[in-house]
Amino acid sequence: MERPRIRDYFQQDLSQNETITPKQRAILQASLDLFAEKGFDQTSTSDIAQRAGVAEGTVYRRYKTKVALRDAILAPITAHIVPILASDFSEDKLRQRYPSLQAFVTAIFTDRVAFAKANMKELKVIFEMAAFDTERREQILSQIAPKMVKQMGSVINQLKADHLIVDWPNDLILQSLLSQLFGYLARLMLELPGTEIEREQAYLITVMTKILTPGEHDQITGQ
């Protein structure tokens, strides 16, 4: 956990242009909490006002619509996702080869899991939106997916050249890793019973390493 954490991104993003009042901050926090708890549609603007301890009109002072309010919450997150995805893959990192698979997997996922944990609620709201807003899903994906495939792709190719990683198509490799990652995050988000965070995070790296280790079972067989 040596690398910088993401925090206070509201402050960070918003205070560049204008100051944010305590009440406006309370509104953002209440909205985020409620959207994550009950879902966007199930949250009324009067719910938000009540939770934030302000009048309903105050909610509309800065944000013209409820959707604009949601977007104000999600904007900083989506803006931060790309740098996070690209971290660890700056040019010098790329030039340095990873000595082992375990080092690679650990390096890659420590940041991303930390980021996800620090922004659980926002991610939950993003997922809700992505599930039924087809356009936005494609928009967000088109921003992120190519960058991710490209960045990870070059590292994977390096590892392939060194025979440190299984020789599967890169997209399949990514899919299996992301499945494990999202599965872990889903358990955290839904607070499924019996989720022991520390143990599972260690296990996550073990499983991913195992998937990627070259071996005899690597031929993709159908039935």
Partner DNA sequence: TCAAAGTGAGTGTATACTCACTCACTTAAT
Partner DNA sequence: ATTAAGTGAGTGAGTATACACTCACTTTGA
What per-residue string of b and e applies to 170-209 under the rule 16 or more CB within 10 Å gives b?
A: beebbeebeebbeebbeebbeeeeeeeeeeebeebbebbb
Q: From residue 176, give the alpha-carbon distance in Å to each of 101, 181, 215.
A: 15, 9, 16
Residues 147-186 that bind a second copy (CB under 8 A): 168, 171-172, 175-176, 178-180, 182-184, 186
Listed in sequence order, the residues at least 6 apart from 92 whose beta carbon sits closer than 8 Å to its beta carbon are none
Q: Counting contacts by CB under 8 A, is residue 71 touching a second copy?
A: no
Q: To the nearest whole angstrom, how small is the minimum distance from the Cβ of residue 202 to a second copy?
A: 4
Q: To the nearest whole angstrom, how small is the minimum distance from the Cβ of residue 150 to a second copy?
A: 14
Residues 10-39 that bind a second copy (CB under 8 A): 37-39
DSSP structural state of residue 88? T
Q: To the nearest whole angstrom, how small is the minimum distance from the Cβ of residue 15 to DNA?
A: 12
The closest of 164, 148, 176, 169 to 103, measured between CA atoms, is 164
Q: Counting contacts by CB under 7 A, is residue 60 touching DNA?
A: yes
Q: Which amino acid is at 194?
A: G
Contact positions vs a second copy (CB under 8 A): 37-39, 41-42, 102, 106, 110, 124, 127-128, 130-132, 137, 141, 168, 171-172, 175-176, 178-180, 182-184, 186-187, 190, 192-194, 198-203, 205-207, 209-211, 213, 215, 217-223
